[in-house]
Amino acid sequence: MIVVKTIAELKKIVLDVKEQGKSVGFVPTMGYLHEGHISLVNEARIHDDFIVMSIFVNPLQFGPNEDFDRYPRDFQRDEKLASEAKVDVVFYPDVNEIYPKELSCTVTVKKGVEVLCGKSRLGHFDGVATVVLKLFNIVQPTRAYFGLKDAQQVAVIENMVADFNLPVQVMKCVTLREADGLAKSSRNVYLSEAERDEAKEIFESLQQAITAIQSGEINCRTIKQHVIGHLETKTSGIVDYVEILSYPDLEEVEQIEDQMIIAVAVKFSQARLIDNVIITV
């Protein structure tokens, strides 16, 4: 496995690979890798010949009161995990390599950002879309792999790829979970022991929503209240949101129909956790 820190070096490697007729799979991450990231690499290995992983904590997607400085970083650990997963190249740039000067242009996301995480994180998805567009242009992958744990992010990226006719296929991968159902996340390390035990109730609340729908409940308000009630009863966290939306359009609806996302966010003392399920009826 090769570690590169400059755009020029990475572009040369990828060009050489493509000249050999090989496909390039891209797994963008912010590091502090866990099994969820590795599952994306494993999926990429099925479809592509050469795997590039980026590790870059993107300052543009953090608000002024968010955890950019506290975001966990451990490159030696990440390097070992990436090598074991048979990543071919890890792109590990510093901020000045990606943003050598103040940007004159950024991506502004207009659709699907006034709900879920976008509602309380003004500008977050602008930052996500801007860095992903830059990374796509740098790596020029055949396919890019994203986990559905952040299904809103996946929808935003899919829309951007379509809007700008980007020559990359977005591969949506299922959320990897702990044995008790908690979605794997770098932020789980911030949970206290008691909060970690409570956090499994997030996925349980979503499972109960699915059960209600399968039993014939179609009123979104009723389902949302059931999920909120479960979270407020079973956890000490503060419910940031519970939303039921069409997917991938991310539009509000009153009744369950077609393809839907049920998404939640819960704030614990030191971590804000998100999860979702996508269902088709």
For residue 153, give the nearest of 52, 268, 263 by alpha carbon: 263
30 among annotated binding-site residues: yes
- My answer on whether 109 and 159 are in the same domain is yes
- Crossing angle between the packed helical segments 193-214 and 220-234, to the nearest 10 degrees: 160
- My answer on whether 129 and 251 are in the same domain is no
Q: What is the pLDDT of residues 52-111, one digit of tens each?
A: 999 999 999 988 777 788 888 999 999 999 999 999 999 999 999 999 999 999 999 998
- My answer on whether 116 and 217 are in the same domain is no
- My answer on whether 27 and 155 are in the same domain is yes
Residue 177: pLDDT over 80: yes
150 among annotated binding-site residues: yes
- My answer on whether 156 and 207 are in the same domain is no
> Is 226 annotated as catalytic?
no
How many domains, in total, are found in the chain?
2
DSSP state of 59: G
61 among annotated binding-site residues: yes
Domain boundary among 115, 140, 173: 173
Give the CATH number of the domain where residue 167 resides.
3.40.50.620
Q: What is the pLDDT of residues 123-167, one digit of tens each?
A: 899 999 999 999 999 999 999 999 999 899 999 999 999 999 999
Domain hosting residue 218, numbered range: 186-280
- My answer on whether 89 and 161 are in the same domain is yes
Residue tagged active-site, from 37, 47, 124, 226: 37
- Note the pTM of the prediction, 2 decimals: 0.86
